[in-house]
Amino acid sequence: MNQNEILRRVDHTVLTPTATWEQVKQACDDGRRLEVASVCIPPRYVKKANDYVGNTLKICTVIGFPNGYSTPEVKVFEAEDAIRDGADEIDMVINQGLAKEGDWEGVLAEIRAVKESCKGRILKVIVEACNFTYDEKIALCRVVSISGADFIKTSTGFASGGATVEDVKLLREHVSPDVRVKAAGGIRTFEQAQAMLEAGADRIGASALVGLI
């Protein structure tokens, strides 16, 4: 797979707390030029970016980011607000505390509520894999598989670890065939991205790859 083919599977990401509109605008320009899958940007810039790119680029944003411990009602509001502003894709962080307690029904209910609020747009569920045991990750795969979400995503990139080949393989093995896998966090080279795709990832979240072109 060459660099252009990899880039078409990349969510080009600008999510630093200090991200400015000029940085987001540059990401949009680069995203259109290189035909990435989407740009993933802070919620506050979604409307402005959507107005700027029109229908030429998919806009992705994040919900409950990066810690995931806001209430389901807040996450639903965030998702609805982002959709109104023109977001095409939503990446939400699960409530990790509920998962650690084994409250899988609570985790499932939250994901389903956000999915409903997405009004048919793509929903990616960030499980922050580095914080969970092997068995917990398998349980999360089951929950995401029955939730109606479109993707399971490894990481926010803001925790102690990011995507690993091992986690991508585990998620691909244990989610249902209709759920795709997004690898994100710490992917800084095309070789790393290629390894994630070969392990079963369908989408890559990265901020560095575009800068290598």
Cite the active site residues.
Answer: 91, 153, 182
H-helix or E-strand spanning residue 192? helix 190-199
Question: Tokens for 182?
Answer: 């997004």
The first and second tokens of residue 61, run together, are 């944003």
CA–CA separation, 151 and 145 (whole Å): 9
What is the rounded distance in angstroms from the CA atom of residue 48 to the CA atom of residue 86? 9
Cβ-contact 175, 144 below 8 angstroms: yes
The two tokens of residue 70 are 């806001």
Angle among Cα 158, 29, 45 to the nearest 5 degrees reads 50
